Amino acid sequence: MAFSVDPDKKTIVCVGSALVDMLANEDDGFLEAAGAAKGGMTLVERQYIDELVEKTSNPPVTVCGGSACNTAAGVGMLGGSARFVGKRGEDRLGDIFEADLERHCVEPYLFRSKTPTGRVLSVITPDAQRTMFTCLGASAEMAPEEIVPECFAGAGIVHLEGYLLFNRDLMAAVLETARASGARISLDLASFNVVEESRDLLNRIVSDYIDILIANEDEAFAYTGIKDEEESLNALAKESEIAVLKLGPRGSIIKGHEETARIEGMGDGSAVDTTGAGDLWAGGFLCGLINGYSLHKSGALGSACGYEVCQLIGAKIEQTGWRRIREILSE
């Protein structure tokens, strides 16, 4: 049986951290001095980010971000019904964050806190890899009791960023409430660090709750322990209805119960910045699924979104890029 979503429920609800991104171009030496593993995500205090910012070559560029937020923005800009559930501070950054959601056609469902809005220092090295230092701020205070059925009203798919795994009680509340709403549930593993630190929890929840499991090569290896991409994908697919293995510039492989689709990478594989590439890939892919597209066409839409966001700094695609992506929808 092909993957299906309730035809009366067309909203994609993305749940995650409301964060503002600070983008800095630096070399590998900067990461070595900071003691960070390239391509990973490290939770830090706000003061630590401030100290790193003082050491950057140039003032970072500030944009709104957060994995699930980026995915929701992708859905919204593709003309889909998108909602973001998260928690912001009562501050200027929170106002900027909420206004940016609305500008990208996303319905904000935001709780509020007196704690400052969360932020991320994303260090972009010359190979276009991004390494993140994250201060969750208000986003970390989203509480299980705040997750009510209204969060998922009209949801066909609920998409979760893997960073929620760090708050186990919240993740449990989101999974239970989303499942009770009748929505299909998508999980992006987010980072190999997340998988390594949350492996025991993932072992308990993936087969019981997750319908769509999305991972890149590093995340899939951390989860399955398998290097071979075909075998790794098969291991992911044993626990979810749809398994996605993203291969960077080489494209992706998507496996469902009745179809396996290999999506070729776009362009020559060059990238200015990979920030948000996986998030926007998920936005395009999920938008395709909820509209009844095949795995191949949904994957091609995801690939187009991921490619376009890599052609500029930050996790937002310019209007010219969106026009090129919409051409895929019109085919």
Note the pTM of the prediction, 2 decimals.
0.89
In which band, very low, low, confident or very high, does the pLDDT at 105 lie, cut at 50, 70 and 90?
very high
Is a pLDDT exceeding 80 seen at residue 275? no
In which band, very low, low, confident or very high, does the pLDDT at 107 lie, cut at 50, 70 and 90?
very high
Is a pLDDT exceeding 90 seen at residue 269? no
pLDDT, position 2:
67
Range name among 67-81, 122-136, 309-323 with the lowest pLDDT average: 309-323
In which band, very low, low, confident or very high, does the pLDDT at 63 lie, cut at 50, 70 and 90?
confident
As beta bridge partners, residue 86 has: 110
Q: Are 242 and 259 in contact (CB under 8 A)?
A: no
Angle at 59 between CA 57 and CA 64, to 5 degrees: 130
Candidates 266, 234, 260; CA nearest to 247 is: 266
Average pLDDT value for the chain: 92
pLDDT, position 53:
93
Segment 253-277 shows an average pLDDT of 86
Percentage helix, strand, coil, to 5, in the chain? 45, 25, 30
Residue 92: exposure state from Cβ atoms within 10 A (0-12, 13-18, ≥19): exposed
Is a pLDDT exceeding 90 seen at residue 76? yes
Question: Tokens at residue 108, please?
Answer: 């904000």
Query: At residue 286, what is the residue type?
Result: L
Is a pLDDT exceeding 80 seen at residue 331? no
Range name among 54-63, 144-153, 178-187 with the lowest pLDDT average: 54-63
Q: How far apart are the first and last CA of the chain?
A: 25
pLDDT digits 0-9 by tens, 215-236 = 999 999 999 999 999 999 999 9
What percent of the chain shows pLDDT beyond 70? Answer: 99
What percent of the chain shows pLDDT beyond 90? Answer: 73
In which band, very low, low, confident or very high, does the pLDDT at 276 lie, cut at 50, 70 and 90?
confident
Domain ranges of the chain: 11-326
Is a pLDDT exceeding 60 seen at residue 94? yes
In which band, very low, low, confident or very high, does the pLDDT at 7 lie, cut at 50, 70 and 90?
confident
In which band, very low, low, confident or very high, does the pLDDT at 129 lie, cut at 50, 70 and 90?
confident
In which band, very low, low, confident or very high, does the pLDDT at 128 lie, cut at 50, 70 and 90?
confident
Q: Are 69 and 117 in contact (CB under 8 A)?
A: no
Buried b (16+ CB within 10 A) or exposed e, 203-225: eebbeebbbbbbbbbbbbbbbbe
d(CA 10, CA 181): 13
d(CA 316, CA 327): 18
Is a pLDDT exceeding 60 seen at residue 1? no
11-326, what's its fold? UDP-N-acetylmuramoyl-L-alanine:D-glutamate ligase (3.40.1190)
